Chain A
């Protein structure tokens, strides 16, 4: 495939004093794709987002967006990037509509155009009924949608979403996901960070899994699952007999004990596990599709990071 590279990072490094938040990493993001940065808190995701936005200077390395070096052309780049930050920094003194029009002014968008665009985006985000409500009266989910609408005011080529659904209820999450998919259809390149693996699997064409400032794996979500943990996982209630039996059946498999369950990552094609269950009976046996979370826990380990 001959894809246009929109974001290119080489030896990207960021240090805060003695702490290396981003440790000499390379990546390329293609035009029109949804690209995800995954990892636990403190992995360096937000730091990368801040460097891509041009608000945090690089300690070392090179970062270009749309062919422009971020260190030299930060102002121009900020004009073509839309940012939905992790923390709510909407303007509490303004109404929903004014939050958008005042923001548009920072981009030199003419007043009339800004008003039209604000109304379009409120409609797109299903917030038109809240147009003239003071922003502080919005619920958490509505605020996220308003932040997303605000990030789209300058019609960005690149949209940065830092933890777009953290803390939202399922309905609000799914609504945001639908909007992000719509944006991709419109040709916007979306870069997002998340520590929800299901979110990454739902939304991203390609992902990078990070831990402690380094890339530990990258690729397409489905392929990563296949490569690392196989298509299916067998879960069985933990007992010594079951364990002994499973070890016999799967001498090469990775077998984890998670709380009261045994997880078997046999890396076998779909269907094989079902056969085994027919031969031997285990207590509380369950076969489920493996997912990115299994990949992540395998790669990053189960210990708490902070």
Chain B
């Protein structure tokens, strides 16, 4: 019992979390040109192949053309990918291969602050990458509503959620190759089954419920799509509430699992 409660102990944090964030930002700024291109090209490829290519064979969905239906989902998917991979592979490299965390905790910064800084950085990556995708689909003329301006703040929240989940995997992974498991068993199914490429309502009801409750991306896709298309629904409140409740749980869990891994 005490073991489980120790996994949910709320950490004490200070402004120093931003120093860890700054370290990652400084590295990012050195290489932003190479970081930039993939985030720019990937959505264009999807829009061309799926939106224009496949979309030509698909009937309009709820009155939207197929390309318009998937475009906001691509923004949400980039939030998930960028934050999840930042806090799995990239964080693991910093933690295990570069021993960056060891170097930082020898200074007045605590391990809790290091992990929080990493998660905040993962959320920032979500904001940056999804904003690039957002600009691409704006240029394609696929966003009819000015409410899209609310998507970047949402992307930070979605980024926090996926970074925190990712950090839990990083805390328990035996080695870097083992990230293939969450990647193929969690991220890829979510990419396909979260209302991204077809409306969830076409699935059997039980699968719809499972997707709503257990696939975080469903919430992100729904909120992003509603904002992009200017289609405000009550379900957005449920989606946001789900993320606001689940994020802190995984955040606290990630910190305590990491502490268990690193403080010996």
Residues on A close to B: CB < 8 A? 16, 53, 55-57, 74-76, 78-79, 81, 83, 85, 87-94, 98, 102-103, 105-108, 154
Whether B263 lies near A55 (C-beta < 8 A) is yes
Whether B106 lies near A55 (C-beta < 8 A) is yes
**Surface stretch bound by A, among B20-28, B44-52, B180-188:** B20-28
Beyond contacts A55-B106, A102-B23: 4 other A-B pairs, Cβ-Cβ < 8 A, are: A89-B99, A91-B100, A98-B26, A102-B26
In the bound complex, what is the Cα–Cα distance between A79 and B110 (angstroms)? Answer: 12
In the bound complex, what is the Cα–Cα distance between A53 and B107 (angstroms)? Answer: 9
CB of B264 within 8 A of chain A?
A: yes
With A93-B27, A98-B26 known as contacts, the answer to whether A56 contacts B107 (CB < 8 A) is: no
Minimum Cβ distance to chain A for residue B186 (Å) = 28
Whether A107 lies near B108 (C-beta < 8 A) is yes
Of all chain A residues, the one with the shortest Cβ separation from B262 is A55
In the bound complex, what is the Cα–Cα distance between A38 and B6 (angstroms)? Answer: 37
Residue among A55, A83, A89 making CB contact with B98, cutoff 8 Å: A89
Number of residue pairs A-B, CB distance < 8 angstroms: 62
Of all chain B residues, the one with the shortest Cβ separation from A91 is B100
Whether A87 lies near B99 (C-beta < 8 A) is yes
Whether B27 lies near A94 (C-beta < 8 A) is yes
In the bound complex, what is the Cα–Cα distance between A107 and B103 (angstroms)? Answer: 12
Please indicate the chain B residues that have their CB under 8 angstroms from the CB of A87 in the complex: 99, 102
Residue among B98, B102, B108 making CB contact with A78, cutoff 8 Å: B108
Whether B107 lies near A78 (C-beta < 8 A) is yes
Minimum Cβ distance to chain B for residue A99 (Å) = 9
Residue among B103, B263, B264 making CB contact with A91, cutoff 8 Å: B103
With a 10 A CB-CB cut-off, give which of B30, B104, B264 has the most chain A CB atoms: B264
CB-defined A-B contacts under 8 Å, sample of 14: A55-B102, A56-B264, A57-B263, A87-B99, A87-B102, A89-B99, A89-B103, A91-B23, A94-B27, A98-B26, A105-B19, A106-B16, A108-B108, A154-B107
CB of B109 within 8 A of chain A?
A: yes
CB of B58 within 8 A of chain A?
A: no
Whether A106 lies near B27 (C-beta < 8 A) is no
Residue among A16, A81, A94 making CB contact with B26, cutoff 8 Å: A94
In the bound complex, what is the Cα–Cα distance between A87 and B30 (angstroms)? Answer: 25
Minimum Cβ distance to chain A for residue B227 (Å) = 35
In the bound complex, what is the Cα–Cα distance between A103 and B104 (angstroms)? Answer: 8
Please indicate the chain A residues that have their CB under 8 angstroms from the CB of B100 in the complex: 89, 91
With a 10 A CB-CB cut-off, give which of A53, A89, A98, A103 has the most chain B CB atoms: A89
Whether B264 lies near A16 (C-beta < 8 A) is yes
Minimum Cβ distance to chain A for residue B55 (Å) = 41
CB of B105 within 8 A of chain A?
A: yes
Of all chain A residues, the one with the shortest Cβ separation from B102 is A89
Please indicate the chain B residues that have their CB under 8 angstroms from the CB of A103 in the complex: 103, 107
Please indicate the chain B residues that have their CB under 8 angstroms from the CB of A94 in the complex: 26-27
The 3 closest A-B pairs by CB, nearest first: A89-B99, A106-B107, A89-B103
Please indicate the chain A residues that have their CB under 8 angstroms from the CB of B23 in the complex: 91, 102, 105
Of all chain B residues, the one with the shortest Cβ separation from A106 is B107
With A56-B264, A89-B99, A91-B100 known as contacts, the answer to whether A105 contacts B22 (CB < 8 A) is: yes
Minimum Cβ distance to chain A for residue B198 (Å) = 41
In the bound complex, what is the Cα–Cα distance between A16 and B264 (angstroms)? Answer: 8
In the bound complex, what is the Cα–Cα distance between A74 and B106 (angstroms)? Answer: 10
Whether B98 lies near A85 (C-beta < 8 A) is no
Minimum Cβ distance to chain A for residue B35 (Å) = 13
Minimum Cβ distance to chain B for residue A201 (Å) = 28
In the bound complex, what is the Cα–Cα distance between A93 and B263 (angstroms)? Answer: 25
Whether A75 lies near B264 (C-beta < 8 A) is no
Please indicate the chain B residues that have their CB under 8 angstroms from the CB of A76 in the complex: 108
Residues facing A in B214-264 (CB within 8 A) are 263-264
Residue among B16, B30, B106, B110 making CB contact with A85, cutoff 8 Å: B106
Please indicate the chain A residues that have their CB under 8 angstroms from the CB of B27 in the complex: 91, 93-94
Whether A106 lies near B102 (C-beta < 8 A) is no
Whether A55 lies near B30 (C-beta < 8 A) is no
Please indicate the chain A residues that have their CB under 8 angstroms from the CB of B107 in the complex: 78-79, 103, 106-107, 154
Please indicate the chain A residues that have their CB under 8 angstroms from the CB of B264 in the complex: 16, 56
Whether A78 lies near B106 (C-beta < 8 A) is yes
In the bound complex, what is the Cα–Cα distance between A94 and B100 (angstroms)? Answer: 12
Residues facing A in B99-130 (CB within 8 A) are 99-100, 102-110
